[in-house]
Amino acid sequence: MRQYSNGYIIGFATAVCLVCSIVVSTSAVALRERQDRNKVLDRQTKVLVVAGLLEEGQAATAEQVEGLFSENIRIRAVDLASGGYDDAVDVVTFDQRKATKDPAVSRVAPANNAGITRLPATALVYQKVDGDEIEMLILPIEGKGLWSTLYGFIALAPDTTTIKGITFYEHAETPGLGGEVDNPSWKALWEGRQAYDETFGPAITVIKGAAGPVEDDPYRVDGLSGATLTARGVSHLVQFWLGENGFGPYLENFRAQGGAS
């Protein structure tokens, strides 16, 4: 059997590693555009689902998703501090998560139970529209669960308090426990509940155990069995984004203007 020197073996291994690294790097660069598009399509799909324009799990092509989204959803950039629209922001290219991490366009968040450390100056609001009429407001939400940060959307009726739906598009909670935030049956329990109390203080909360029917128990949602900390995290993150440091100022303006776009 042929014997190879240590130098040959090291050189050969180095060459193989170099070739593999070039292939992996090239593939990553070549696929980045497709990966970015798939992320956008996934978020658009979740917006359409929470807006009631797609069924949960419904098969749809990229063209169908993009078409439904462009026809029915309008995106507006909102200055979180003032609650006013910021039309100088390009909503197509704006990356809210990236902006949150950028000290130049974000700030340290005040102490909160949602685990949010920084806030972007600008956030996006998705409006389900029929012509000039706004039928639904869809707000991005995020915050800590048990093991991960949960990213999702909550949809509100034009009265800004009646919940139309909730969904999460990214998290790493335990499957079968905290991962039940993805369960359509649990998400359906949110519809019709009230986000705010009579004084417009964030009131919706996920409890331990079962809540009553919507008409008798409007501010509470059933807990997640075996996932108390994830459920508590959902309560905290929803209340944060409905509050004064989240979309509270925007929703107050929206009510004051009678739902004008």
Q: Give me the pLDDT at residue 23, please.
A: 56
pLDDT at residue number 41 = 85
Q: What band does 260 get if pLDDT is binned at 50, 70 and 90?
A: low
90 contacts 96 by C-beta, under 8 angstroms: no
Partners of 75 in beta bridges = 126
pLDDT at residue number 258: 80
In the predicted structure, residue 38 carries a pLDDT above the cut 80: no
Helix (H, G, I), strand (E, B) or coil at 131: coil
pTM of the model: 0.84
* Residue 233's pLDDT band (cuts 50, 70, 90): very high
pLDDT tens digits, residue range 103-137? 999 999 999 999 999 999 999 999 999 998 999 99
Please give the helix or strand (H or E) that residue 138 lies within, else none: strand 133-144
Q: Angle at CA 158, nearest 5°, toward 152 and 160?
A: 60
Q: What is the pLDDT of residue 3?
A: 65
Residue 83's pLDDT band, with cuts at 50, 70 and 90, is: very high
Q: How many CB atoms lie within 10 A of CB 94?
A: 16
Angle at CA of residue 127, ends 122 and 129, nearest 5°: 155
Close Cβ partners of 86 (under 8 Å, ≥ 6 residues apart): 77, 78, 79, 122
Q: Which residue has the tokens 């109390």?
A: 197
Q: Is 183 helix (H, G, I), strand (E, B) or coil?
A: coil
Q: What is the pLDDT of residues 209-224, one digit of tens each?
A: 999 999 999 999 999 9
Q: What angle do CA 195, 196, 202 make, to 5 degrees?
A: 90
The continuous run of DSSP H or E covering 151 comes out as strand 149-156
* 27 in Cβ contact with 21 (< 8 Å): no
| CA torsion, ordered 167, 164, 244, 109, to nearest 10 deg | 0
- The pLDDT value recorded for residue 10 is 72
Q: Is pLDDT of 34 > 90? A: no
Are 45 and 65 contacting, i.e. CB atoms less than 8 angstroms apart? yes
Least confident stretch, 41-55, 149-163, 203-217 = 41-55
Structure-token match 């048990």, residue found? 146
Per residue in 14-28, pLDDT tens?
A: 777 676 666 555 554
